[in-house]
């Protein structure tokens, strides 16, 4: 911030200084030229032609410096065929003025014809009454005076702009220090969080950084919630694996004759538990990665292509909004839909109907999965979501499908409910998921 401020201050002051220098230098030079113009006009107004055809002044010029040799102020009149008529201040020198042109208006320029004495020269061509000669009136003055004024102006500008620049840098530094000072409070608050183990920033902080503090507190809350979920998952997994491991260890210690069968059975139980918790962990991780978006219809079609190979005798029908999108990762959405549709095909009577975007709530997208099976009694609809719960043990399964559906949906803020299908007579699963924000 300081480097950017210093750069802009330097550029602006440099541009302003150059512009101001040119304006003041031009004004000083213009004033100097006006003085020369007054003198030239006085010369022309006093000049006459004598009886001998030579030029003379009918009254003396007012500036005494024209009479002092090498005074720095000179005049000269030149005509073709006539001797030059110079001021006494020129002494033994002559102004070198080209006589091959006619200046009807005053012509001013700089000259270095006198060594060590730069001149400002103004000339004008005049034809006086009583003469056909083109007389060149010239007045010249040393530039030392005007150059000294310009030098003085530039010195004043330089030191003024240097002082202004340093003052602006000091103000920019003070503004930066004062403007960023509230962040030091935030740094101290974060240090206290780290050293004291507090979970939130509760001390009052400046209003300028309050939005940042709120975001930090939200991040801390989110991180704490994730850590708590991780601890819960780890505890649940440890608890779920403890019983099968105990059974295996007891069977091995007792050298039970059915040890192999016991190991296989309990290993399957442990595998189901591990798969369940891994699914939850993946969903939590993908949710935390950022904003998620998935198209419902494309995911349904992908799931149906896989399920139809397993249940080729079942009829699958889709209906609803083809453009519906939900705030889920595509993998999680397909895992939810895969579990629901596979369950409907497995336990149904041969017909599965899926409708997308039921209801008109702009915040939620409802997906209904219906089958023509025997359904689930109302008393069992809550228990069926428990891990490993199965009502029909005659068909293969792990009893984790609906548990995974419920857990993953709740991780994203959604929900799942069971009811009776009015059209097919079997089970109706209402899946409600958050709609993706456009």
Least trusted range by pLDDT, from 27-31, 111-115, 385-389? 385-389
Query: Residue 166: pLDDT above 90?
Result: yes
Distance CA 288, CA 20 (A): 59
- The CATH number linked to 320 is 3.30.565.10
Does a structural domain hold residue 176?
no
Distance CA 138, CA 107 (A): 9
Identify the band that residue 161 occupies on the pLDDT scale cut at 50, 70 and 90.
very high
Query: Residue 393: pLDDT above 50?
Result: no
- How high is the mean pLDDT of the chain? 83
How far does the chain reach from its first CA to its final CA, in angstroms?
Answer: 36
Does a structural domain hold residue 194?
no
- Alpha-carbon torsion angle 116, 122, 127, 131, nearest 10: -30
Sheet holding 107-111, edge to edge: 85-86, 73-79, 135-142, 119-126, 107-111
Does a structural domain hold residue 231?
yes
Q: Mean of the pLDDT values across residues 161-190?
A: 87
Out of 241, 270, 288, a domain closes at 288
pLDDT digits (tens, 9 = 90+) for 297-340: 999 999 999 889 888 889 999 999 998 999 888 888 888 898 89
Identify the band that residue 240 occupies on the pLDDT scale cut at 50, 70 and 90.
low
Query: Residue 131: pLDDT above 50?
Result: yes
Query: Residue 387: pLDDT above 70?
Result: no
Does a structural domain hold residue 129?
yes
Same domain, 27 and 127: yes
Least trusted range by pLDDT, from 171-175, 269-273, 341-345? 269-273
pLDDT digits (tens, 9 = 90+) for 197-233: 777 777 777 777 788 888 888 888 877 877 777 776 6
Query: Residue 365: pLDDT above 60?
Result: yes
Query: Residue 343: pLDDT above 70?
Result: yes
Does a structural domain hold residue 106?
yes
Out of 243, 272, 288, a domain closes at 288
Does a structural domain hold residue 256?
yes
Same domain, 319 and 258: no
Does a structural domain hold residue 127?
yes
Same domain, 14 and 104: yes
* pLDDT at res. 260: 84
> Are the beta carbons of 9 and 165 closer than 8 angstroms?
yes
Same domain, 281 and 326: no
* pLDDT at res. 398: 40
Same domain, 309 and 238: no
pLDDT digits (tens, 9 = 90+) for 51-109: 888 888 888 888 888 889 989 999 999 888 888 889 999 988 888 877 667 888 899 99
Alpha carbon of residue 324 to chain centroid: 32
Identify the band that residue 389 occupies on the pLDDT scale cut at 50, 70 and 90.
very low
Beta bridge partners of 416: 431
* pLDDT at res. 277: 67
Angstrom distances, CA of residue 17 to CA of 20, 147, 169, 351: 5, 18, 17, 86
Distance CA 297, CA 356 (A): 8
Q: Mean of the pLDDT values across residues 236-245?
A: 72
Tokens describing residue 374: 């025997």
Domain range enclosing 411: 294-434
Same domain, 17 and 139: yes
Distance CA 125, CA 161 (A): 44
Same domain, 265 and 214: yes
Alpha carbon of residue 265 to chain centroid: 59
pLDDT digits (tens, 9 = 90+) for 87-97: 999 988 888 87
pLDDT digits (tens, 9 = 90+) for 257-296: 888 888 888 887 777 667 766 766 665 655 554 467 889 9
For 261-281, the DSSP string reads HHHHHHHHHHHHHHHHHHHHH
* pLDDT at res. 395: 46
* pLDDT at res. 228: 77
Query: Residue 126: pLDDT above 60?
Result: yes
Same domain, 54 and 142: yes
Same domain, 116 and 239: no
Express as a percent the part of the chain with pLDDT over 90: 29
* pLDDT at res. 58: 86
* pLDDT at res. 186: 81
Q: Mean of the pLDDT values across residues 403-407?
A: 81
Count of structural domains within the chain: 3
Same domain, 250 and 349: no
Same domain, 236 and 311: no
Does a structural domain hold residue 347?
yes
Out of 260, 288, 316, a domain closes at 288
Same domain, 218 and 281: yes
């Amino acid at each position: 911030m300081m480097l950017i401020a210093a750069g802009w201050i330097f550029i602006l002051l440099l541009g302003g200084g150059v512009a101001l220098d040119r304006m003041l230098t031009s004004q000083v030079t213009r004033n100097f030229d006006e003085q020369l113009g007054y003198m030239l006009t006085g010369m022309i107004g006093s000049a006459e032609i004598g009886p001998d055809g030579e030029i003379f002044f009918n009254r003396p010029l007012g500036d005494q410096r024209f009479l002092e040799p090498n005074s720095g102020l000179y005049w000269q009149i030149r005509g073709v065929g006539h001797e030059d008529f110079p001021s006494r201040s020129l002494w033994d020198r002559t102004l070198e003025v080209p006589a091959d042109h006619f200046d009807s208006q005053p012509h001013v320029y700089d000259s270095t014809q006198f060594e060590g004495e730069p001149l400002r020269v103004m000339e004008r061509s005049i034809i006086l009454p009583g003469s056909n000669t083109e007389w060149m009136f010239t007045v010249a003055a040393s530039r030392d005076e005007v150059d000294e004024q310009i030098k003085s102006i530039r010195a004043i500008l330089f030191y003024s702009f240097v002082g202004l620049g340093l003052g602006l840098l000091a103000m920019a530094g003070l503004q930066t220090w004062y403007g960023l000072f509230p962040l030091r409070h935030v740094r101290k608050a974060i240090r206290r969080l780290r050293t004291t183990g507090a979970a939130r920033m509760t001390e009052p902080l400046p209003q300028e950084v309050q939005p940042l503090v709120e975001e930090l507190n939200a991040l801390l809350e989110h991180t704490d919630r994730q850590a708590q979920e991780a601890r819960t998952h780890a505890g649940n997994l440890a608890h779920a694996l403890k019983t099968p491991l105990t059974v295996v260890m007891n069977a091995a210690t007792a050298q039970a004759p059915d040890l192999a069968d016991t190991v296989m059975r309990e290993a399957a139980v442990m595998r189901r538990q591990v798969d369940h918790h891994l699914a939850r962990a993946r969903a939590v991780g993908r949710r935390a990665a950022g904003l998620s978006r998935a198209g419902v219809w494309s995911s349904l079609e992908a799931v149906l292509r896989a399920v139809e190979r397993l249940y080729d005798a079942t009829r699958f029908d889709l209906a609803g909004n083809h453009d519906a999108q939900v705030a889920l990762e595509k993998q999680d959405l397909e895992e939810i839909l895969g579990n629901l549709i596979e369950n409907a095909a497995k336990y149904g009577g041969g017909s599965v109907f899926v409708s997308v975007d039921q209801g008109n709530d702009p915040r939620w997208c409802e997906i209904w999965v219906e089958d023509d099976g025997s359904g689930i009694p109302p008393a069992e609809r809550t228990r069926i979501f428990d891990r490993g719960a199965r009502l029909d043990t005659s068909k293969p399964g792990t009893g984790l499908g609906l548990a995974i559906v419920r857990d993953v949906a709740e991780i994203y803020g959604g929900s799942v409910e069971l009811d009776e299908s009015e059209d097919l007579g079997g089970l109706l699963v209402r899946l409600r998921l958050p709609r993706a924000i456009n």
